[in-house]
Structure 1
């Protein structure tokens, strides 16, 4: 059954009861006026300095916008420099003309009391009469309840004369509500009064607005909601769910015009409809499992709006088992993407079984003979070998699960695929980018062409660290960790393997990440858990940047950089190719494959073998067993069990490959710049092992000769410099020749 033909749930009294229980009192009002500064409703302030009203057009409030129009629409900046008298709608009301009297003027510039006095005096010349009156003293009288009005309250009323008249004119509402409306004059508001005769429809839209408020993700203004209120009020329906969403879309186009700017209006209507469906059907497996289209948000799976569709499986008996299979796969931690792959495989298998030439009407008929016919049919599929293998793997897992869990005991025992049934995979070359292309994308001038600094940092991380783009977009705000040497590592969640991983980073990447953290704190003062929060529809900073958003930015950046291959053709690359390039570069630099496996966080060498042949190496075992000493003769150890053990070893092994010395190894993190201009024997980061003892003894003999000759010539400075190196050599040789315990004792004694 297609989506357009899916049954629409009947609204009924059940939905009205749920709405009455769900909609909070602050939203169940005629006119909803958000509190000042509320996150998703706040539009900021009018551009005119001192005007607290919210902007409507050209970043001006409605009053200043009309004032700008009446002036002939001058340059906006010129208008802002001279907008006229105070904030529109908040100007001070006229006080009584008598000096010191702060009652509001009622008639002819006088308050009610002084107007009566003047009339009883025979209405003399007003200026002469007022000049003869004594100054009125302010004896602590009450002022108007409105914060922007300083006039005295009239009689027992909480308002001044004029504001009391306005309060009476609108029917004397509750004082607190009237004050709130007056003080929010010009601010955004949501007027539900057009739906006065449609109680349930009104509650439905109020519920949608409340959901937007609670989710705190999408900025929502009355410009999007007010047209929806008027549109639904004119529809004559009692509930949004009376019509399918397709009919509402057609009705919207007919009423508003196909070319009319939607400005989020239809999106809000869809949002309201979807959340009403959720309210009707509830959430969790008990309510969602019987449906043929699963909404993953109702199952508590966050971060996706995906649906799992079983309505394309035409056989009821296959569809029910398929739903049990997918529910089980999700419950044991398989990804949503895997569930989609499984359903696609079952969809294709369903189409094969529906062929009249196959004529299979129950699972009991799906035996090995049917599967062999399916394999022959699948071999004619134009898709890649990998896609066909994936289908076979999903179906085999489905048959094994049906048999294991007893979902359908009639499934034949020989309904299975064998290893030989899987098509032989094509030999694929590494998909790393050519160095000609990498030289262009790594150019600082091209990196500076990023319009968004966040994406520039993300690109640098992808190229330097080899992360998958999804893992990089979901980096935590505090993603840098250090080892005992002070070397920085990037900590990330390998979402494919569902585990945390570490990769060494250089100083440039570390500095860029630190700068990115500062940008995040400036944009979201309350902080964000993500290093790369989504830049739009994310007022709380709770959502990370999506891979879809980054890929779009990447395409536009490549166009600006005009990156071309060796044939002059425009280059279109994917973020994952940087991961392949990272691994290929390491292999080409003679970094052992086991080290590459650790840096890429692969589970097995087979995954890393995509980049190079497996090296038969036991370097790590020898490195861990070898006794190492520094320039003081002290033993240097690596914790084999700590959380940084794997990453620390990878750093050390990478250092051995790229920074090996003739008499030892540099223990300085490869991301650091060496601060020692002299020989490494004076460097505290130097590490060596017993295999270099012959070189150390030979160098000691040479140093003794240099020191003796310098002493004979009176070269005190040369003697001093070489004695330091000689002293370090003596400690190293003693440490390597003696046992570990003796080495420690000797070092302490020195």
Structure 2
């Protein structure tokens, strides 16, 4: 009885269109979430997994009827009609089999990719189809009448030579040969085609060249920053965030509206989801970038309600238009580089050789990694900051410049207290992460001589001049205990002199300062003794 009630509740939550795309059953249960956070369900009748939200989107927003059986019979598949999640920031939803000239390759590719759609992402399936189309083109140009059983090692060897003649990167050729191997292996294993076994062998694969980071030259970055006022404000803010944070474009356009966090010391952090690595990471950011993000939050609040749109950056009505008319949709990944390359053309942004620079969003990520390595940031911290899965992914940046390694600075320890001696707790953030604190203190540090300021970035300057010890935004730790004791001794001397001379105002101000210092010292002394 309880299970039936849960099924009814789930059905009411998702939509009236929900049913299994395979057997049309309305009996299903939850089966986790995909990388974009969409709920996945599994049919109790046929065990088919599906995302009803994707079906809803296709039906309501695109006017597409979700009918996988009908779609699979076509030569161009739309993932929305298949009920398949197209992935984050997708601009293409199609699988086009029309360029494949050979019917035996076309029909087998459909069967093969239909199986692949159940286990890998739609983007990966698109890449596999692209490789199969290259294979088809080669065969139609060189062996137009070839049959499956006639494919042999000689033809495969000529195919590898053909790929090399196309001036493709070694990694692209490797991918094409790998996809051809998987295609033929599956065709042999499942007896879809009468092909030979082991058509593609290890010696067919090219050696992948080590790629150096495609960082943006400093002269290009300077020209870009001088011209940023000439682009729409949301585009300008996206560039400023990219220049410091180095995230991927899919991560930038899908930034949550509430991506800003502040720690107990008053410093700012950015939290976002890495779709490639399938994990959430938190990185420290400067107060200037925090202000940029806050400005963009006000921009979104001005144009949309939170229920209407819950992302930091929105789409432009008509992505190619030079002005920016906000639309409550996630921005396409190609929109930002389109704006930047039009700017480069208008403002003649060139490298020193005089050639016009062509912007790609991933260049900003490589630029951030290269700068950090060159500035002496330890490689394991760069790895953490960029969210790399392994040190090998980070080590590529070390090939550009010699590392100027610095000694590790003492890790952040101890309690943080305000002027009342109260321990300040973090704001939904683990602020004792040693690597992030190292980066925060040495790259983005904005400290006072005896503590730090937690004045919100949105504020326009400090209203307290040099009276930090009477300011509610002041933060300090036990590492400044000696300075506080020395200042307390000086304050007591000032109070004695003020009392002797009858200076009422000076007594009042310094008595407040003395109380705050005594509160701070009493708490920090306990902290220091515990350590």
- TM-score range normalised by the length of the shorter chain: 0.5 to 0.7
1:598 and 2:384 matched:
yes
Matches within 5 A, 1:150-165: none
CA distance in 1, matches of 2:61, 2:163: 47
| SS of the residue 1:482 aligns to | strand
- Which residue of the other structure, out of 314, 329, 338, is the alignment partner of 1:543? 329
1:50 alignment counterpart:
none
Task: Name the residue aligned to 1:516.
Answer: 299
1:584 and 2:366 equivalent?
no
The residue number in structure 2 matching 1:291 is 74
* Counterpart for residue 239 of structure 1: none
- Correspondence list, 1:351-750, <5 A: 351-353=137-139, 361-362=147-148, 371-399=156-184, 401-402=186-187, 406=190, 408=192, 412-418=196-202, 421-443=204-226, 446-450=227-231, 452-476=232-256, 478-485=257-264, 488-505=268-285, 506-521=289-304, 527-530=308-311, 531-536=313-318, 541-612=327-398, 623=411, 628-631=414-417, 644-645=429-430, 651-658=436-443, 659=445, 677=466, 684-688=474-478, 728-729=520-521, 731-738=523-530
**Distance apart, 1:652 and its partner CA:** 2.2
What secondary structure is seen at the aligned counterpart in 2 of 1:431? coil
**C-alpha contact (below 8 Å) 1:480/1:488 kept by paired residues:** no
Q: Give, in whole Å, the separation in 1 of the partners of 2:499 and 2:151.
A: 94
Q: Deviations over 1:192-232 (max 9, x none)?
A: xxxxxxxxxxxxxxxxxxxxxx9678xxxxxxxxxxxxxxx
CA contact (8 A) 1:457 1:516 kept: no
Return the structure number with greater relative CO, CA threshold 8 A, min gap 6. Answer: 2
Which deviates the most, 524-533 or 282-291?
524-533
Question: Structure 1 residues 635, 653: closer, same or farther in 2, change over 3 A?
Answer: farther
> Structure 1, residues 116-161: CA drift from partner, whole Å, max 9, x if none?
xxxxxxxxxxxxxxxxxxxxxxxxxxxxxxxxxxxxxxxxxxxxxx
Contact 1:592-1:615 at 8 Å conserved across structures: no
**Secondary structure of 1:557's aligned partner:** helix
Change (3 A) 1:703 1:304: closer
C-alpha RMSD of matched pairs (Å): 4.9
Residues 566 and 738 (structure 1), Cα distance of their counterparts in 2 relative to 1, 3 Å cut:
same
Residues 284 and 440, structure 2, Cα contact 8 Å, conserved in 1? no
The Cα offsets for residues 518-553 of structure 1, whole Å up to 9 and x where unpaired, read as: 3423xx898334431332499994533333444333
Return closer, same or farther for 1:687/1:437 CA change in 2, 3 Å cut-off: farther
Shift of 1:729: 5.0
Distance between the aligned counterparts of 2:455 and 2:398, measured in 1? 25
Matched residues in 1 for 2:404 and 2:197: separation? 42
Q: Aligned equivalents of 1:438 and 1:488: distance in 2?
A: 25
Tell me the distance in 2 between the aligned counterparts of 1:291 and 1:334.
20
C-alpha displacement at 1:654, in angstroms?
1.8
Report the 3-state secondary structure (helix = DSSP H, G, I; strand = E; otherwise coil) of the residue aligned with 1:629: coil
Structure 2 unaligned regions, length at least 5 = 1-58, 501-505
Q: 1:368 to 1:284 in 2, by over 3 A?
A: farther
| 1:619-674 CA distance string (max 9 Å, x none) | 79x95xx85233589888889xx8x4499666423222233989998696997999
Determine helix, strand or coil for the equivalent of 2:117: helix
Unaligned runs of 5+ in 1: 1-213, 218-274, 740-750
Residues 448-500 of structure 1 deviation map (CA, whole Å, 9 limit, x = unaligned): 212x3333333333333323334333444x24342453655445443434555
